[in-house]
Chains A and B, each alone.
Chain A
Amino acid sequence: MNTTTMPNELINLTISPRLAKNLRRNIKERLIEFILMLAALSAVFTTFAIVAILLYESFGFFKAISLVEFFTGKEWTPLFEDAHYGIMPLISGTLTTSAIALAVAVPVGTIGAIYLSEFASHKTREITKPILELLVGVPTIAFGYFALLFVTPMLQKIFPELPGFNMLSAGLVMGVMIIPYISSVAEDAMRAVPMSMREGSYAMGATRFQTALRVVTPAATSGIVAAYILAISRAVGETMVVAVAAGQQPLLTFNPMDGAATITAYIVQVAMGDLPHGSIGYQSIFAAGLVLFIMTLGFNIIGHVVRKKYTEKY
């Protein structure tokens, strides 16, 4: 089995058949391990490639457009004759739709998580959780259709002046989409709270609701917060719902009743047209993508750190 001395023996051709077999086997084993390692490294490679491509194309963009104009400019009109590259309107669109989505998903997701973890019977949980998973599996383009052709017309009955493209409808539908993310991560956190803590509360004569609200939820705070942060990251990166239903007009507004483009919707809009490769317009989607990547990466990292904290606690 001593591999280091084997090559010499091989050269001398004095090798016994048994050792030769061992050698072949060892080489094969090493080769397989190497191939598997390459497969694992593909994850590192992908991250690296994403960062490299975004930085490379953005670099070209920022040679023409100053960072100051990019971050402080209030107009985003790369496709106009008189092009402006201020990303503020795209950020405002992204933040507004995400805020609406969270306003829906945070309360509904949290209440759902408390119900699942503290109230639901084993059977209810067994039925409900797969359904929530199915909801996660629905393609986002279908939600886009729903927002544009079902929710918006319905909202227009309440607000007759609501335009066909608006952030309210897109945000609401996106909110429903991310409920399962919040409820499942938050539920995990609550179920990680040791039973002894619940027993302590029940032994004092507390009801289920009191135990859930006063003991379990505070004990699971970090996990619940992590769920919110991961949900923000989802909302910020969501594309099809906003591209279809919120419109693609970059507009610096925080009014949910307006239509406005998000970062993602802008990327879709440019990709749909035929901007020549290497043009500043082409590069602009990478600059926008870089901002998006940094935002989501930031939220994901914070989310994971906060989440780690609760898994360590118990």
Chain B
Amino acid sequence: MVNTQTPLKAESKDLNFFYASGHQALKSVSMPIYENKITALIGPSGCGKSTYLRCFNRMHDLYPGNKYEGQIIMHPDNTNILEHGVDAIEVRMRISMVFQKPNPFPKSIFENVAYGLRVRGETNKRTVADKVEEALKGAALWNEVKDRQQDLAFNLSGGQQQRLCIARALATDPEIMLFDEPTSALDPIATANIEELMSELRHKLTILVVTHNMQQAARISDYTAYMYLGEMMEYGDTDTIFTRPARKETEDYITGKFG
């Protein structure tokens, strides 16, 4: 497609998604996700971009009656993560997620970051402490919290909480990290911090981010997909999408005439 040099990390093929109500939220969405790149999903509210994102770590499995059709292939092992035989928990151990609103657990800062390791049965104190430190550093939070790791996570500011959630997701070395409008609940300064962090993280892993902020998509992403009414309208590298969109609808949305 657009790029032949960079290896693929994942791709969706003819992905359909139905909510329990019967509503079809995704219609035959096909799209590549390139390794160590940031791919942004944009589109008006209700276009299915969050629904699409949440397919990648099978979040929809939590609510009975939801149905996937089609494939999400993960590389290099060519696993279709939507296949029945593939365990959702195994998928989530490879693909982690950061949510719209920071959702730390009612635990200490340390235990929040260590959560993924605990869930995996890691008991070695040394290993856990090292991993937590590494993750906090990776999320650019270490300097702010290193002396109060036992404090309750709720005491952090909103931006810090979101970075804590990133650290939590980072601690288990995921291959892909999903971001669902990660800065929509944050102020501009915290937003800038998170964006900078995401650009850094791209060297370690692959990022898929949903955003309703077009400037944000333009600033941080390598590839951009424009979705509308559950369909993939246009996909391309971010520069092309924002300067020379192929479709009129994309241009209208990007220039603010619509949406």
- Interface positions of A (Cβ within 8 A of B): 121-122, 194, 196-207, 210, 214-215, 218-219, 221
B96/A204 in contact, CB under 8 A = yes
Partner of A219, one of B99, B105, B116, B118: B105
Residues 91-109 of B at the A interface (beta carbon under 8 Å): 92-93, 96-97, 99, 101, 103-107
Residues of B within 8 A of A215 (CB): 105-106
Contacts of B118 in A (CB 8 A): 214
Measured between beta carbons, the chain B residues less than 8 angstroms from A221 are 106
Which residue of the partner chain, among B59, B62, B105, contacts A197 with CB atoms under 8 Å?
B105
Could you tell me if A196 and B105 are in contact, using CB atoms closer than 8 angstroms? no
The 12 listed contacts between A and B (C-beta, < 8 Å) are A201-B115, A202-B62, A203-B96, A204-B92, A205-B93, A205-B119, A205-B120, A206-B115, A207-B89, A210-B119, A215-B106, A218-B106
In the complex, A204→B170 CA distance in Å? 10
Residues of A within 8 A of B183 (CB): none
Contact, CB under 8 Å: B172 / A204: yes
Q: Is chain A's interface secondary structure helix, strand, loop, or mixed overall?
A: helix
CB contacts (< 8 Å) of B99 on chain A: these are 196, 199-200, 203
* Residues of chain B at interface, number, CB under 8 A: 26
Q: A204-B96, A206-B119 are in contact. List 8 more A-B contacts (CB 8 A).
A: A194-B103, A196-B101, A196-B103, A199-B99, A204-B115, A204-B119, A205-B90, A205-B116
With known contacts A205-B116, A205-B120, A199–B103 Cβ distance under 8 A: yes
Closest chain B residue to A203, Cβ basis: B97
Q: Is the CB of B169 within 8 A of A205?
A: no
Query: Using Cβ atoms and an 8 Å threshold, which residues of chain A touch B165?
Result: 200
Do A202 and B106 touch (CB < 8 A)? no
Note all chain B residues with C-beta closer than 8 A to A197: 103, 105-106
Closest A residue, CB atoms, query B112: A200
Collect the chain A residues with CB atoms within 8 Å of residue B168's CB. Answer: 200, 204
- Residues on A with C-beta less than 8 A from B57 are 203
Q: How many angstroms between the C-alpha atoms of A199 and B99 in the bound complex?
A: 9
Bound-state Cα–Cα, A184 to B64, Å: 23
A202 with B92, Cβ < 8 A, contacts A121-B64, A210-B119, A214-B115 known: yes
Closest to B105 in A: A215
The smallest C-beta distance from A314 to any residue of chain B, in angstroms, reads 11
The docked-state distance in angstroms from the alpha carbon of A303 to that of B11 is 53
Interfacial chain A residues near B115, Cβ < 8 Å: 201, 204, 206, 214
Indicate the member of A196, A203, A207 with the most B CB atoms within 10 Å.
Answer: A203
**Residue of A at shortest CB range from B178?**
A203
User: Is B169 a contact partner of A203 (Cβ separation < 8 A)?
Assistant: yes
Q: For residue B62, which residues in chain A have a CB less than 8 angstroms away from its CB?
A: 198-199, 202
Residue of B with least CB distance to A194: B103
Q: Quick one: CB contact mask for B212-238 with A, threshold 8 Å, 1 for yes? A: 000000000000000000000000000
CB < 8 Å neighbour of A199 from B59, B93, B107: B59
* B76 CB, nearest partner CB in chain A, Å: 20
User: Could you say which residues of chain A place their CB within 8 Å of the CB of B107?
Assistant: 218
Contacts of A218 in B (CB 8 A): 105-107
A199 partner residues in chain B, CB cutoff 8 A: 59, 62, 97, 99, 103
Chain A residues, CB < 8 A from B90 = 205
What are the residues of chain A within 8 A of B89 when measuring CB–CB? 205-207
Q: Which residue of B lies closest to A122 (CB)?
A: B64
Bound CA span A204–B168, Å: 8
Nearest-CB distance from B64 to chain A (Å)? Answer: 7
CB closest residue in chain A, given B171: A204
Q: How far is the CB of A271 from chain B (nearest CB, A)?
A: 48
